[in-house]
Amino acid sequence: MQVKHTDSDTDGEEFVFETQTSTVETSRSERLRDFYEEFIYKPGLVALDDSRTLIGGVILFVFILIALIGTRVYPAPVTNQVERSLKPFETMNAPLGSNPSGTDLLAQVIHATPSMLVLVTAGAVFSTFIAVFTGTVAGYKGGRTDRVITTISDIAMSIPGLPLVMVLAVTIKPENPAVVGILLTINYWSGLGRSIRSQVLTLREESYVEASRTMGVSTRRILTKDVIPNLMPYILVNFAFAARYCIFAGVGLYYLGVLPADLANWGLQLDSAYNDYSALVGSGSEYLVIVPMIPIALLSLSLVLLAQGLDRIFNPRVRTRLAGESESIEEDDDDVVHTGGV
Amino acid sequence: MRYYAERVARSVLTVWAAVTLTFGILRLMPGGPLVQLRGQLSRRNMSPEEIENQIAVYRERLNLVDAPIHEQYIAYLSNLLQGDFGQSLKEGEPVLQLIGEALPWTVFVMTVATILIFAIAIVWGALTAYKEGSTFDKVSSVAGVLLGSIPFYVFAFILLLFLAYQNKFFPASGRMTPLTDVELTVGFIIDVLHHAALPIASVVVVQAGLQMLSMRGNSIQVLGEDYVRVARLRGLSDRRISTRYVARNAILPMYTGFLTLIGFNIGNSVILEQVFTYRGIGYVMFDALEVQDYSVLMGVFLVFTIVLVVAVLIADLTYSWVDPRVKSGDASEAY
Amino acid sequence: MASTTVETREPDSEDPVVELRNASVTYDDGNSYVLDHVSMDVHRHEVIGVIGESGSGKSMLAESMLDSIPDPGVLRGQVRYNPSEGEPIDVLDLTTEELRQLRWEEISMVFQGAMSSFNPTMRVGKHFEETLSAHDADIDEGLAFARELLQDLYLEPDRVLNSYPHELSGGMQQRALIALSLVLEPELLVMDEPTAALDLLMQRSILRLLRELKEKYDLTMVFITHDLPLIAALADRLAIMYAFHPVEIGRTEEIVQNAAHPYTRALLNSTPNLDAPIEEMVPIPGSQPAPINVPDGCAYHPRCPLADEQCRSSKPDYVSVSDRHTSACYHWDDARDEIALNYSENLGDAARSGGDE
């Protein structure tokens, strides 16, 4: 469907300017509608039907609500704000209990959410963007550009991520969660970029891309209008996986104390519970470790569910069936496949 | 032959890039590492002279010299080539010695863990593929996803809580019972395995599910191939089809992943070994992070890179042995 | 002696190898037919070409002879196999083990896409060995026969047997697959579009080799294809499939020169041939029905220029047009006049004469 726009200019010079704008306009609104159909309406239908996507989406939505509203309503964590070492559900002052320094655990969990979401988003956006950029350019341009980019991403891929981040974090000491997110994915993009490249190589041979190229459309335009939209599903799925990686690595590094953190941080919460308060040793304070584990597991679970759901959503066969589009025709196709033929 | 040369060249290039990175990081730090260290020392009530002496020691241990930057670089490279990774800032031990003492433990834990991961994933994934759509399959997929969405260190805490603290089935920390003699006796091996069990389990449980899902996907794909159908029509036994046809072709794409996962897991040992106070190479790095021991930090990072590079290289170079379709001439990518 | 052998090679219409009676394949709990009540014989020592567009059910016809319909299809009706010696066998009544033995030992099959029929990680020779051992055949003897077959197919046995599939070209793989299908000396060889993935020259040469093999080993073959001119050169009889059953069956010359079904005639006219200039090649308008909405009456009526009320309401039975030539059309006689073949000079413009048969 994305091909149309590239043809619209070809009718040549004898047409007046208005005609051209009007074609462009219709095709733009058409494209908007297509976009709505392709990326919002139909995925929405499938998402509602697919319990995985639904659960994943709801969990993520709750986290966003906590970040936006929860932090405004619920007091921020400080030491000695409530009684020390409260058990969960003991008082309503600190529903999830408090640590031996009198910090409300729920306050820590809530106020850690915004920076964690920023970190995760920054990392996922950064790595996906770099991956899409390098992958499409390398795959599409080929030749020398391809060789240079491939060599660089090969190298990036063979350097272990977490140790690299640690070495960099110790020297840079980043405080802004967005910077941390980018740092975490400093070489994470390479694997995704590589697989996007090979997909672009396949797409490149598709006839409509070929057509655009022979018509002299610029590379940038072909990439943004023809190639990337076709890779969108794949990119979105990997976006979710990149986000999950950011949680794993981010919390892990905060836990190790590699990154500077304040009280509102799940990793730091784990660290102090396990290493400072020896919460697992059996003094009945296991909840200190368990409380921060819950948001970590839930957030990463929601991203895994979304990634799996997105995979289904953008799988055209599943979508057709659920969107109720010409169900019968689809079944015919099945049978044609069985009956073989050419 | 050209293929092998290219792969080796790429590996060397990667290690060189990592070396240059560590060199660059140390020199490009604001004011250099010595300024940071000087700051730490001055907080310890030391006289200016003592500080200067200590700084001189640090400079020595970090292999820093007063010379133009390119000469420093060349000196750094040649030191590394001779196996001189500098000395630990804290104790002054050679970095390589620290690493050499710790690395085998990490390699042991992660290799065992990765082998287990793949053994479990292959059997489990194949079973789910054969029973595609059954309750077993659905439960397995959900379990795989749930396990895969827990960070391994979170799972490590759960294991510690239930199996080391509440029930004292396994030790919570250490590589072996303190003061045992290191000798290859049955008792010693059991002791080592006993200590490694929880670290291994926390990696295995979390990663096996995801690997199972990919084995499942591969197997389902292979089961749909014409050659499996033709093999059935040819009257081959189910046993032969499931091993020689389905399993073989479904496992192949995972071979490279297996070796690289060992490499990555060794690189990710820092958090795991900190949680279990397991003195492997990751723990050495954690120690160095705590006190900003730059020479150890950079040394361990280089070793991690080399381990991963070697793992990938082995995968690349041996892939043509396991998959006849790949001749060394027209090899596909490792990733 | 030699002359008697030659005689026995002649197709014998009184001695069918496989008899299909009301064979049907359904999906969707019996609601949609992809093979619709087919009754048809395969004569011993003949080559029968089954021709149809994609989606006409011709592959189902092939699969039903080995009772190997892919899930979740269900095969009903009767499939009877008559060995050259011994009692007739009802294929659909066989146990799993009996069926396993029947396949490849008695009836074997070559699929389209030889490339995907070999295990990519196993040498070609191993495929022969495991097939022989799965059927308790003598491996050494069997391999010797395999070499002979490969040689008959103009392949170097040693090279082929020691190669991995990807090391052979498409044509070589296809020939190796044919040898593999014959290694247990089956009575009947069913081939489903065996040449579809190959280039024209390779198709012709494989066909020539098949003819040689047939002569040498007394084979009976069912050859499924969409390519009428290709098979016309090899087949003794042709069966034209439309909408999941054969609409016309007859001797090859008879069909090519004197087809008695409007679809067959249209199909002949849509095929490139040397007699007709390219402008006279006429594609058939419309498309083949899908299994869930096969038209009532004659399934071809929406596309047929001769269709009338009768065609729309009731399904035509097979009519014996001439010796061993049947057509499922009310207007088979008119069809010969109405629809001129573009490569035949004696059929000119014909006037519409109307009337039932």
pLDDT tens string B228-274: 999 999 999 999 999 999 999 999 888 888 888 888 899 889 999 99
Provide mean pLDDT across the span B59-78: 79
In the chain, the amino acid numbered A232 is M
> How many structural domains are present in chain A?
1
- Alpha-carbon span A76 to A70, nearest angstrom: 10
Going by the DSSP 8-state scheme, the letter that residue A182 receives in this structure is H
* Spatial contact of A305 and A298, defined as CB atoms under 8 Å apart: no
The confidence band for C48, taking pLDDT boundaries of 50, 70 and 90, is very high
- Phi and psi angles of residue C263, each rounded to the nearest 5 degrees, phi first: -65, -45
Q: Would C151 be classed as within a structural domain?
A: yes
Strands C107-110 and C188-192: parallel
Q: Would B187 be classed as within a structural domain?
A: yes
The confidence band for A120, taking pLDDT boundaries of 50, 70 and 90, is very high
In this predicted structure, the answer to whether residue A24 has a pLDDT above a threshold of 70 is no
Q: Do C196 and C345 fall within a single domain?
A: no
All chains having 3 or more CB pairs closer than 8 angstroms to chain B: A, C
Cβ contacts of B240 on chain C, cutoff 8 Å: 130, 134
Count, residues in chain C? 357
Q: Would B55 be classed as within a structural domain?
A: no
ipTM at complex level: 0.84
- Highest-confidence segment of A9-13, A263-267, A283-287: A263-267
The minimal CB distance from A341 to the residues C73, C226, C291 is found for C226
Residues 6+ apart with CB under 8 A from B10: A151, A154, A155, A158
Partners of A104 in beta bridges: A98
A7 token code pair? 């043809």
Asked if B330 is an interface residue toward chain C (Cβ–Cβ < 8 A), one would say no
| Nearest CA among A25, A131, A38, A56 for reference residue A307 | A56
pLDDT tens string A40-81: 676 666 666 678 888 888 999 999 999 999 888 888 888 888
Q: Would A162 be classed as within a structural domain?
A: yes
- Domain extent for C43: 12-235
Partners of C192 in beta bridges: C224
Determine, for residues A161 and B157 on separate chains, whether the beta-carbon distance falls below 8 Å.
no
Segment (H or E) for C97 = helix C96-105
The confidence band for B165, taking pLDDT boundaries of 50, 70 and 90, is confident
A214 token code pair? 């022979």
**CATH code of residue B125:** 1.10.3720.10
Report the residue of chain B nearest A241, measured CA to CA.
B149
B69 token code pair? 């930057």
Asked if C287 is an interface residue toward chain B (Cβ–Cβ < 8 A), one would say no
| Nearest CA among C84, C75, C1, C89 for reference residue C38 | C75
Between vectors from CA B175 to CA B174 and to CA B179, what angle results, nearest 5°?
85
pLDDT tens string C302-314: 888 888 888 888 8
- Domain extent for B196: 105-290
The minimal CB distance from B248 to the residues C103, C109, C121 is found for C121
pLDDT tens string C164-174: 998 998 889 98
The minimal CB distance from B160 to the residues A258, A280, A304 is found for A280
Please identify which residue in the block is written with the tokens 């058939």. Answer: C284
The confidence band for C323, taking pLDDT boundaries of 50, 70 and 90, is confident
pLDDT over 90 percentage in chain A: 20
pLDDT at position B67 is 74
In this predicted structure, the answer to whether residue C158 has a pLDDT above a threshold of 90 is yes
Mutation target for B interface from C69, C95, C119: give the one with most B CBs within 10 A: C119
Report the residue of chain A nearest B309, measured CA to CA.
A158
pLDDT at position B126 is 92
CA-to-CA dists, residue B203 to B150, B154, B183, B313, angstroms: 11, 10, 27, 24
Domain boundary (C235, C266, C285) is at: C235
Between vectors from CA A118 to CA A114 and to CA A124, what angle results, nearest 5°?
145
> How many structural domains are present in chain C?
2
Q: Do C258 and C331 fall within a single domain?
A: yes
Q: Helix (H, G, I), strand (E, B), or coil: what is residue C110? A: strand
Strands C89-90 and C325-327: unpaired
Q: Cα(first)–Cα(last) distance of chain C, in Å?
A: 47
- Alpha-carbon span C94 to C107, nearest angstrom: 14
In this predicted structure, the answer to whether residue A257 has a pLDDT above a threshold of 90 is no
Query: CB A10: neighbour CB atoms within 10 A?
Result: 9
pLDDT at position B204 is 95
Q: Cα(first)–Cα(last) distance of chain B, in Å?
A: 20
> How many structural domains are present in chain B?
1
Q: Helix (H, G, I), strand (E, B), or coil: what is residue C173? A: helix
| Nearest CA among A248, A222, A205 for reference residue A116 | A248
In this predicted structure, the answer to whether residue A286 has a pLDDT above a threshold of 60 is yes
Q: Would A249 be classed as within a structural domain?
A: yes
CA-to-CA dists, residue A101 to A97, B315, C99, C155, C322, angstroms: 11, 51, 76, 84, 103
Provide mean pLDDT across the span C81-85: 88
C179 token code pair? 């040898």
A295 token code pair? 């948001």
Asked if A331 is an interface residue toward chain C (Cβ–Cβ < 8 A), one would say yes
Q: Helix (H, G, I), strand (E, B), or coil: what is residue B112? A: helix
Cβ contacts of A155 on chain B, cutoff 8 Å: 10, 13-14, 17
The per-residue pLDDT of chain C, averaged, comes to: 83
Q: Would A296 be classed as within a structural domain?
A: yes
Between vectors from CA B119 to CA B117 and to CA B121, what angle results, nearest 5°?
65
- Phi and psi angles of residue C83, each rounded to the nearest 5 degrees, phi first: -65, 160
- Highest-confidence segment of A87-101, C255-269, C271-285: C255-269
Side-chain-facing half-sphere of A171: CA atoms under 13 Å:
24
Q: Helix (H, G, I), strand (E, B), or coil: what is residue C93? A: helix
- Alpha-carbon span B140 to C84, nearest angstrom: 51
CA-to-CA dists, residue C254 to A219, B55, C251, C258, angstroms: 59, 104, 5, 5
* Spatial contact of B294 and B282, defined as CB atoms under 8 Å apart: no
pLDDT tens string C189-242: 999 888 777 788 888 888 889 989 988 888 899 999 888 888 888 899 999 998
Q: Would B175 be classed as within a structural domain?
A: yes
pLDDT at position A99 is 85
**CATH code of residue A216:** 1.10.3720.10
Asked if A337 is an interface residue toward chain C (Cβ–Cβ < 8 A), one would say no
pTM of the full predicted structure?
0.79
Q: Do C261 and C215 fall within a single domain?
A: no
**CATH code of residue C210:** 3.40.50.300
Compute the nearest-CA separation of B308 from chain A (Å): 6
* Secondary structure, 3-state, B230-259: HHHHCCCCHHHHHHHHHHHHHHHHHHHHHH
Asked if A309 is an interface residue toward chain B (Cβ–Cβ < 8 A), one would say no
The confidence band for C274, taking pLDDT boundaries of 50, 70 and 90, is low
Compute the nearest-CA separation of C123 from chain B (Å): 9
Which chain C residues have any C-beta within 8 angstroms of a chain A C-beta?
Answer: 27-28, 32, 34, 52-60, 70, 73, 112, 192-193, 196, 226, 290-293
Compute the nearest-CA separation of B250 from chain C (Å): 11
- Domain extent for A124: 67-302
| Nearest CA among A194, A106, A207 for reference residue A150 | A194
pLDDT at position C275 is 61
Segment (H or E) for A184 = helix A177-184
In this predicted structure, the answer to whether residue C53 has a pLDDT above a threshold of 60 is yes
The per-residue pLDDT of chain B, averaged, comes to: 85
Domain boundary (C175, C202, C235) is at: C235
CA-to-CA dists, residue C125 to B182, B230, C138, C161, C179, angstroms: 52, 15, 15, 4, 11
Q: Would A35 be classed as within a structural domain?
A: no
pLDDT at position A5 is 39
Q: Would B89 be classed as within a structural domain?
A: no
The confidence band for A15, taking pLDDT boundaries of 50, 70 and 90, is very low
Q: Helix (H, G, I), strand (E, B), or coil: what is residue B329? A: helix
Between vectors from CA A294 to CA A292 and to CA A300, what angle results, nearest 5°?
110
Sequence-ordered alpha helix ranges (H) in A205-227: 207-214, 219-222
Provide mean pLDDT across the span A296-321: 74
pLDDT at position B335 is 35
* Spatial contact of C261 and C270, defined as CB atoms under 8 Å apart: no
Q: Would A318 be classed as within a structural domain?
A: no
Q: Would A7 be classed as within a structural domain?
A: no
Cβ contacts of C34 on chain A, cutoff 8 Å: 335, 338-339
In this predicted structure, the answer to whether residue C90 has a pLDDT above a threshold of 60 is yes
In this predicted structure, the answer to whether residue A22 has a pLDDT above a threshold of 70 is no
Q: Would C5 be classed as within a structural domain?
A: no
A224: left (phi over 0), alpha (psi -120 to 50) or beta: alpha
- Alpha-carbon span C203 to A301, nearest angstrom: 55
Please identify which residue in the block is written with the tokens 């090649």. Answer: C281
Please identify which residue in the block is written with the tokens 């977490």. Answer: A162
The confidence band for B107, taking pLDDT boundaries of 50, 70 and 90, is very high
* Spatial contact of C305 and C289, defined as CB atoms under 8 Å apart: no
Q: Would A288 be classed as within a structural domain?
A: yes
Span of A265-279, B10-24, B86-100, B320-334 with lowest mean pLDDT: B320-334
pLDDT at position C116 is 84
Q: Do C87 and C132 fall within a single domain?
A: yes
The confidence band for C119, taking pLDDT boundaries of 50, 70 and 90, is very high
Cβ contacts of A334 on chain C, cutoff 8 Å: 27
Strands C74-81 and C188-192: unpaired
Determine, for residues C292 and A338 on separate chains, whether the beta-carbon distance falls below 8 Å.
no
* Spatial contact of C183 and C142, defined as CB atoms under 8 Å apart: yes
Cβ contacts of C60 on chain A, cutoff 8 Å: 338-339
Q: Would B174 be classed as within a structural domain?
A: yes
In this predicted structure, the answer to whether residue B332 has a pLDDT above a threshold of 70 is no
pLDDT at position C271 is 75
Q: Would C7 be classed as within a structural domain?
A: no
Q: Would C24 be classed as within a structural domain?
A: yes
Q: Would C241 be classed as within a structural domain?
A: no
Mutation target for B interface from C130, C168, C183: give the one with most B CBs within 10 A: C130
pLDDT at position A9 is 38
- Alpha-carbon span B74 to C89, nearest angstrom: 84
- Alpha-carbon span C240 to B19, nearest angstrom: 72
* Spatial contact of A43 and A313, defined as CB atoms under 8 Å apart: yes
Domain boundary (C235, C266, C300) is at: C235
* Spatial contact of A296 and B206, defined as CB atoms under 8 Å apart: no
- Alpha-carbon span A40 to A29, nearest angstrom: 15
C264 token code pair? 């067959």
Q: Would B39 be classed as within a structural domain?
A: no
Compute the nearest-CA separation of C9 from chain B (Å): 27
C113 token code pair? 């896409």
pLDDT at position A315 is 58
Better pLDDT: C98 or C199 = C98
A203 token code pair? 């797409």
